[in-house]
Copies of this chain bind each other. A is one copy, B any other.
């Protein structure tokens, strides 16, 4: 993250307006999964994890924070709807931690305005619909902490700020950095060594791309916060994962990324997703985040790899039925063709609403799936079978991305009065 100076700006009425900062932050997808806390208050994990930051061009949270002495207190708007700030202990925790860091800045510099004592207005929007079922807490807390870091001119590095984001949502600490990011579990009781570290920058592996498959689901799901602690308490297999499997896998995954070894990266990504869902199934009561469509996607990826005779694609699933599929640029066209054949969009849905093609993989989005005539793909698709149209609701084609971006004042989500520009009724 680039920490840039914020400047108070003047209204037409010549009144000094509140200090503010606007930041966007990315989603990340874990390839070695975080599941289980050793300290629920500080959000200290039972094991290290490793993720890929996805491009903010396609999925991101944008957050504006604004401090003013005139504000009566803290207020928060999420996607245009005001929320009770005090209702979330985690949110309060993040804001008060950031204020403490700001207070230290003010103590060292008597000229610094006393932002730590002012009210805050926070306005946050996701560029992806909530209905997409994509977890927004990681990008959301990463954006909030980055925005506060910018507003408060905090001297801490991104890695140090990741500790603050971690207190909001564990996986948020990994969205503070771009590229390939490890979250070290750490051993200290105060969480001082439980932070994010960049394993490789975005530019290290430009061939790597990803598809987010949004899967239809009717189930109520167990929240990851509740689910992971039930796993820690009840799964007899979980300790084995934490003690023996993950430490080994972290080392292998780092090496695979360093070597840009897609087969190794992909195999381990699939295996660790599988094991995460295995310990969920070993939980009591058991937790099933994947559904029949998810399992069908898994089988399709294995069938694809078998058909091409190498590990050309990898799936991974978080605490829900959506799949993220990794593949190298050169395999994407074939893979998307296969996916759109086996998981057709409803006839009523335009191709571009189903599959976004930012990389111009297809000459025309109308060609996706049913019209392109690659006989090998068609034969493979036939052997896999066709699933109910709409089982996969949307395919978002994206790539590895950078860390939080500080945006210009023109991108602010708050107006000159510090109120949301796009409030919903």
Contacts and interface: CB of A to CB of B under 8 A. Distances in A.
Interface of A: 219, 235-237, 240-241, 244-245, 267, 270-271, 274-275, 277-279, 281-286, 288, 290-292, 295, 298-299, 302
B278 A237 contact: yes
Nearest to A248: B236
A251 to B, nearest CB: 14
A347 B422 CA distance: 50
Contacts of A299: 285
A281 B277 contact: yes
Contacts of A219: 292, 295
B274 A284 contact: yes
Most buried by B among A240, A241, A281, A299: A281
A236 B292 contact: no
Contacts of A235: 278
Given A277-B286, A285-B298, A288-B298, 6 more contacts: A236-B275, A237-B241, A240-B240, A275-B282, A278-B279, A291-B295
A236 B267 CA distance: 14
A242 to B, nearest CB: 11
Nearest to A237: B237
Nearest to A238: B237
Contacts of A245: 236-237
Contact of A271 (B284, B290, B302): B284
Contact of A281 (B236, B281, B284, B292): B281
